[in-house]
Structure formats: structure tokens, C-alpha cells
Chains A and B, each alone.
Chain A
Amino acid sequence: MTEHATDFETQKKWDNASRTFDIVSFAEDKRLGPDKRRMLSKVQGKILHVAAGTGNDFKFLPPGKDVISIDISPKMLERARPKAAAYDGHIELLQADVRQLDDPDDTFDTVATVFTFCSVPTPIAGLAELHRVLKPGGQILMFEHVRSTIGPLAVMLDLMTPLTRKIGPELNRDTVGNVQKACFRLRRVENVYLDVVKIIEAIR
């Protein structure tokens, strides 16, 4: 196993967030759950799920899959463990930073992320690492919130990001652009809520 420098700042932020994560995301799961399930129904082959969180997305995965789910926060993974055990399939939980994966090149057929790249400190580095571990022709399925292109809303998101960054995600990321910068080919982009929450599908 390769030794990597740990991003303690990010780890600590999400360790802290793990205490209230389920409460804060309760309604969001109910409202956006059907869209998450629809996207995750497309996972196939060897699957890497990035940012397990407290395991709230596991219930949206199709049954019978073999999934590796990573998170930078050990506290999040601790809370995700019972939900992984309850999944009708196999989920292996690993602590890892998406920017420094131990997996060899061309390992996975599918990478899935849910509200992940709003929080990775250097998102293009993380996406480039996912590009590396995906097999050629492999797919990345992303459920992400991004900066709006609607002027007044974009300004709001820009103004709020310095606040939200301290406790969790950034609200003004250009994740679609970042996916392309990391050399993925876009297959499909869908607006889920306004143009802020999106499903992004891309191919290596």
C-alpha cells in the first residue's frame, strides 16, 4: 500500500459533520432520493462509490452489487457501517482520499458520486484520479450541486460559499467543467433542481 499525506483539515471537517449529517440530510434524501435511485440504477461491473458519508446512499443502490465505498472521514465510515451491513449485496468500506487512491489504473467499470465534488478541496485532482482508476470506456455517474448559471442565484451562491466552506461544501463549483478538464467525455447532463443540482454522466 502506498503512503499518502493525510488531509487532516478536510477529515476533521467531515468528522465533525458526521454527528449531524443524518439529521441535516433527512428531508433531502426523501426529496431527491428517487432521482438518486434513478442515477444509481445505472451502476454496473466493478463499482467505486466515492464519499460514503454516513451510508445514506446505499439504500438507493440496486441490490446485489459488489461495491467499494470510500470516505476521507473515519467517523462517517463508522456511522455508515450498519447501513452497509443492511445492504442487499456487498459494500466494502475504506478510508481514502479520492485524490490519492491505492487502486491500480483501469480498475473500475463505474464510479458513482453523490454530493462529493462540492467538498473535495482540489476537485480536478480528484476527478483525474477517478479517470485513472476507471477502465477505458468506464462510466462516472455524478449527483452533484453546482454553481447556477442564473445570474441572481449565482451571486447568492458565490456570497454564501465562504460561509458554507467552513462547515461543509462549496456552493459555486463548476463541476461539469471540471469533469471535462479531467479528460472525461460527457455522455449526459440533467438538471434535477433548477440548474443547481445535476446528474452528470461521463465516460473515460
Chain B
Amino acid sequence: MLFAIGDYVAGALIGVATSLAARLIVWPGMDMVIAMLIGMGVGLIVHVVIGFSLAPILGMFETMVPGSLTGMYGGMLFAMRDSMAAGSRTLLAAGAVGAVFGIVVTAAVKLYNRALRGPVLETGK
């Protein structure tokens, strides 16, 4: 139970940090493709730093897998948003959206894990 709560907190943290980092680096009017590439790079760095820091208390895979999706794909989305100035005008709003994104990705990964977990090959020999 504590691990599950920790997973969501980690997801939210990575989402917030990525969203704020993208907001600080990408400005409205920046070429969207460049912005998305920057967002992905920023998300990579953010999730590696936070993920490695939290791995000892939450586990490497459970932190890094949803964290990588939140950081890198989220980073692209946040940067796209910020290059178009399309919503989340304040830093608080940007952070909140990042948190929601991180939590949703974490939940989706957990759901997917439930579907995938179990034997995929059994020859019975």
C-alpha cells in the first residue's frame, strides 16, 4: 500500500518537475519541433535524477518505467503546450497539470501491469 502511494507521489513529482522545467525553457512562439525535442531531453534528465533518487525507497522499475513515460513523453507535450502558449498560464497551473499527468501515467502503467502479469509461455515439459 505504501509502495503504491509512493509510486503515485513519484509520478506526480516527476510530472510537476518536468512541466515546470519545460515552462522555464520553452517560450511562446518557439518552433514546436525544437520545443518538443527540448522537452523530451529535459524530461529525460528530470526523470533520471528523481527516479534514481527515489529508487532505493520505491524500487528501480516501479519508479523508472512510469517516470520515463511521464518525463519524456510528458516533456514533449508540456513543451508543445508552452511553445503555443496553449493553456496553464501560471506556474501553479503548469505544475498541477504536470502532477495530474504523472498520476494518470502511473495509474495507466499499473493497470497495464495487471493485464500483462502472468505466464506468457508454458510448454508443460
Interface residues of A, Cβ cutoff 8 Å to B: 23-28, 30-32, 145, 150, 152-153, 156-157, 159-160, 163, 185-197, 203
Shortest distance from the beta carbon of B118 to any chain A beta carbon, whole Å: 6
The winner among A30, A194, A196 for most chain B CB atoms within 10 A is A194
Shortest distance from the beta carbon of A12 to any chain B beta carbon, whole Å: 20
Q: Which residues of B contact A191 (CB under 8 A)?
A: 116-120
Q: Which of B61-80 contact A (CB under 8 A)?
A: 61-62, 64-65, 68-69, 72-73
Shortest distance from the beta carbon of A164 to any chain B beta carbon, whole Å: 9
A193 & B69 in contact (Cβ 8 Å cutoff): no
Interface residues of B, Cβ cutoff 8 Å to A: 3, 44, 48, 55-62, 64-65, 68-69, 72-73, 109, 112-113, 116-123, 125
CA distance A156 to B62 in the complex (A): 14
Q: Which residues of A contact B73 (CB under 8 A)?
A: 152
Shortest distance from the beta carbon of A20 to any chain B beta carbon, whole Å: 9
Chain A residue at minimum C-beta to C-beta distance from B67? A156
Q: Which of A163, A188, A189, A197 contacts B61 (CB 8 A)?
A: A197
Instruction: Please name 22 pairs of A and B residues whose Cβ atoms are closer than 8 Å in the assembled complex, sorted by A.
Output: A23-B56, A24-B56, A24-B60, A26-B56, A26-B57, A27-B3, A27-B55, A27-B59, A28-B59, A31-B59, A150-B112, A152-B73, A153-B65, A160-B68, A185-B125, A188-B123, A189-B119, A189-B121, A191-B116, A192-B117, A194-B117, A203-B125
